[in-house]
Chains A and B, each alone.
Chain A
Amino acid sequence: MKLFLQTIKYDYLQRTRSYAFLITLCASLAIAYTFVPEPNASYSTIRIADYVGSYNSAWFGYVTAIMTSVFLSLVGFYLVNNGIKTDFNTKVGQIIASTKVSNFKYLLFKTLSNFMVLITIVFCVFLMSILLFFLYNDGTAFSLFQFVKPYVLVTLPALFFIAVLAVVFEVFLMKYSAIQNVLFFFMFSSMMVFVPKTENQHALDVFGTKIVIEQMEESVKLITNSDADEDLSIGYVLGNTKKAKKFDFNGVDFPRVFVLSRLLWILFGFGIITAITPFFKRFSDRESMKFKRVKSVKGEVNEFKEVVIENLSKPKISYSIFPLCKTELLMLFRKGKKWFWIINIIGMVLLVVLPLEMAHQLVLPVLWFLQVNRLSDLVTKETFYNTHYFVFASYKPLQRVLISQLFAGIVLMLFLSLPLMIRYAFESHFMAFTSILLGGVFIVLLASVLGILTQGKKLFEVLFFMIAYANINGIIYADYFGGFQDGVSYLLKLIVCISVFITLIVLVRKRQVVNLA
């Protein structure tokens, strides 16, 4: 048992000391800061018709707890869904495979260490919410219980389940991170739209948020005396001109069935881990997972050959960037499974046949999102594959290698959107045409900026996922490809973003090349 805890401890330390963790933590805190708007802010997060809760302990506790439950389930999955894979890549897995730790124990300790990573963030957000209370409260008394209760009953079980889910995905789909990303995307979306009809059905809501929101609605209905469904808005709604009226929210008296169900979700999680243990093939693959599985090859030694320097043909100096672009493109297109291209092609066909609006607003962002794994390590793969010595010792790496990488990324995105762009060109709709063009550039540069700044790919993956989710839900603030907006000022905004990104990329990379480790 002591050993078991030790193992979790070191796994946890290893993971929380990573840059990706720090970045996600900071981002989570920054976002949590906005969960309960500052009293005069011009946006709302949870608003029922014209009402928001008065700023008391319960409102702060419950609102931040349910927002965290949803938000961290989404983002947290991406933060923790590489625990096993990392063991593969670092070959630690091979060492573990040779010890006597059982498969079940291994998966269990990965789950718990996933959970601990998530809890760490929750705990920081929790402290933040208390801080917010003291900043903005309406002069009500502080009650710690109103904070602890929703976090324990709503947030923690949800995140435990996410920790389990990440392990399940890794066991079955370790080699296919692209599929993991997409599949989780759909699972998350479908879990979000689930609406419990009776009180007992709340037990089926993993996130545990619906019951809280229903209670809030009830409270408002009591005030307005109406039976009609209130106009409920969750999520960031900007520009509330009408000042919200306040209602008193005093927490939820969770029914016993619900409390029990939270416990059952946790047990269910343990059950799942037990059930998938037989499918976990340990680290039997000889190949490190970093690489696609390929047939191993043997070089035949026929005769005693030697390198004779004088006989080698003399190369010429050539600083052409063209061969670099070619290879970067090649690598980009070959990345991942071959059959993944079938999906891309289906997407491109849909861009041709579907009505313009649907193709642009729905298919394009999804098709682009599917490339998330291609884009996320576009400019940082040299660190991952350990080829950075070659890259940084090359001739003018900043100007040549970086540009060819960006070029390749942009070509890929524009190639995928080509059918749509051609359609717009035929209709002489040049605004839309240009915004797609700029959108492709935008997302590639975003990937590069975040990659270069964080030296990792997680932040971009998480962010792109959120953007895509917002795109599907038609939230116009996340529209970077002109699906919902056009006009000169919109294009100008895109251009400004792009310019800022380019400046950042060049400045930071320059520093990195000059101050080599």
Chain B
Amino acid sequence: MQLDVQNISKKYGRDKYGLKDFSITIDKGVLGLLGPNGAGKSTLLKMIATVSKPTHGVILLNKNNILKDANYMRKQLGFLPQDFGVYPNLNAYEFLEYIAAMKGVGGSHLKLRIKQLLDSLNLADVAHKPIGSYSGGMKQRIGIAQALLNDPKLIIFDEPTVGLDPEERVRFRNLVSDLANDSIVILSSHIVSDIDTIADKVAVMKNGSLITNGIQEDIIESVSGKVFEILIDKNDLSTFKDKQIVVSTTRKKGKLKVRYISANPIGNSIAQQANLEDAYLYLTKTN
């Protein structure tokens, strides 16, 4: 199982790029796709999912060009779009059956599979009510169930944890690691904590380009030894921010505890263990 994205660009206007000459190779396992709003994450994922076409470039799945043969991808794809809707008058069963039919999934086991999915996503109780009456998190789980209908080998989740409560997030994380055993799973987010515990590899993008791509440890390595904390006065924050890359600030006894990244720390700073969030902020702010 290998997904090969080669030099793809997506133009939205004359010189407005959603994605610019982007290449990445993705193998089995979980890839976390990080990037600030408007980085081009959804643009990339939609093209991989064959619902959008690149202006230039090629996307290969196991050496098959999916721009030419979209159905090769669609047969093994599970896709959760970032901004999807439902037909409010259908109930969860009917909606999933409908999506299954569109995906070309059927057979006598389908009903059972839908029931199992709804059951394990905790939707069995509401499965017979119209989806229009669901809460945001329930709808999101319908979206997740929908992506798993066809036993997919490549699963794309665009901002999957939006609207999920902490318990559901845990459940989702377990699901993703389970899926990654024999498939490619790509998840996008701009929240690092959604990704750092489950992703084997992390790709960071910004302004339509790939900034870095690799296993988590290597990415964190790029800032290790550069992360510090210091207590400063509230009023000094803005001048401090001008000189240093600030990761976070916490209020502490009338003062501010500032976590920052720097090659040459100031006076009484305390060195800290670097984490993915530090690396992410460092990378997106310096690139």
Contact = CB atoms under 8 A, between A and B. Distances in A.
Contacts of B53: 515-516
A511 interface: no
B110 interface: yes
Interface stretch (B126-134, B203-211, B219-227, B270-278): B126-134
B87 to A, nearest CB: 6
Contacts of B13: none
A397 interface: yes
B117 A312 contact: yes
A306 B175 contact: yes
Contact of A324 (B102, B121, B135): B102
Interface in B39-84: 46, 49-53, 71, 74-75, 77, 79, 81, 83-84
Contacts, number: 176
B125 interface: yes
Contact of A314 (B84, B98, B109): B109
B110 A327 contact: no
Contact of A315 (B87, B89, B98, B106): B106
A316 B109 contact: yes
Interface stretch (A94-102, A345-353, A386-394, A432-440): A386-394
A190 interface: no
A389 B178 contact: no
Contacts of A516: 50-53
A298 B174 CA distance: 23
Given A312-B117, A385-B86, A323 B132 contact: no
A323 B97 contact: yes
Interface residues of B, number: 65
Contacts of A304: 171
Interface string A337-367: 0000000000000000000000000000000
Interface string A400-421: 1100000000000000000000
Interface stretch (A36-44, A56-64, A288-296, A477-485): A288-296
Contacts of A395: 71, 74-75, 102-104
A385 B126 CA distance: 21
A197 interface: no
B41 to A, nearest CB: 15
Contact of A389 (B71, B79, B151, B181): B79
A309 interface: yes
A290 B85 CA distance: 11
B200 interface: no
A387 B110 CA distance: 21
A302 to B, nearest CB: 8
B104 A319 contact: yes
A3 interface: no
Nearest to A335: B89
Contact of B89 (A295, A331, A389): A331
A390 B71 CA distance: 13
Interface in B109-167: 109-110, 112-113, 116-117, 119-123, 125-126, 129-130, 132-135, 138, 146, 148-151, 167
A320 interface: yes
Contacts of A394: 74, 99, 102-104
Of B83, B104, B125, B175, most A-chain CB atoms within 10 Å: B104
B89 A334 contact: yes
A312 B113 contact: yes
B230 interface: no
Contacts of A320: 101, 106
Nearest to B143: A390
Interface string A303-331: 01111110111111111111110010011
B51 A393 contact: yes
Contacts of A515: 53
A509 interface: no
B120 A315 contact: no
A315 B109 CA distance: 5
Contacts of A400: 101-102
A193 interface: no
A317 B76 CA distance: 11
B90 interface: yes
B87 A387 contact: yes
Nearest to B112: A313
A315 B105 contact: yes
B179 interface: yes
For the complex, would chain A's binding face be called helix, strand, loop or mixed by DSSP majority? loop
B258 to A, nearest CB: 35
Contacts of B117: 307, 312
A517 B53 CA distance: 7
B129 A308 contact: no
A229 interface: no
B88 interface: yes
Interface in B150-201: 150-151, 167, 171, 174-175, 178-179, 181
B94 interface: yes
Most buried by B among A307, A311, A327: A307
A488 interface: no
A307 B175 contact: yes
A331 B87 contact: yes
Nearest to B180: A309
Interface string A166-208: 0000000000000000000000000000000000000000000
Given A292-B89, A327-B90, A394-B74, A389 B81 contact: yes
B57 to A, nearest CB: 15
Given A296-B133, A306-B120, A393 B50 contact: yes
Contacts of A306: 120, 171, 174-175, 178
Interface in B14-52: 46, 49-52
Contacts of B267: none
Contacts of B113: 312-315
A300 interface: yes
Nearest to A517: B52
A381 interface: yes
A393 B74 CA distance: 7
Nearest to B85: A386
Contacts of B46: 389
A432 B101 CA distance: 37
11 contacts: A297-B133, A307-B120, A309-B181, A315-B110, A318-B104, A318-B107, A322-B101, A324-B101, A385-B86, A390-B102, A516-B51
Given A306-B175, A318-B104, A321-B101, 14 more contacts: A290-B88, A292-B89, A307-B120, A312-B151, A315-B105, A315-B113, A316-B107, A318-B101, A323-B101, A324-B101, A324-B102, A385-B87, A393-B77, A516-B53
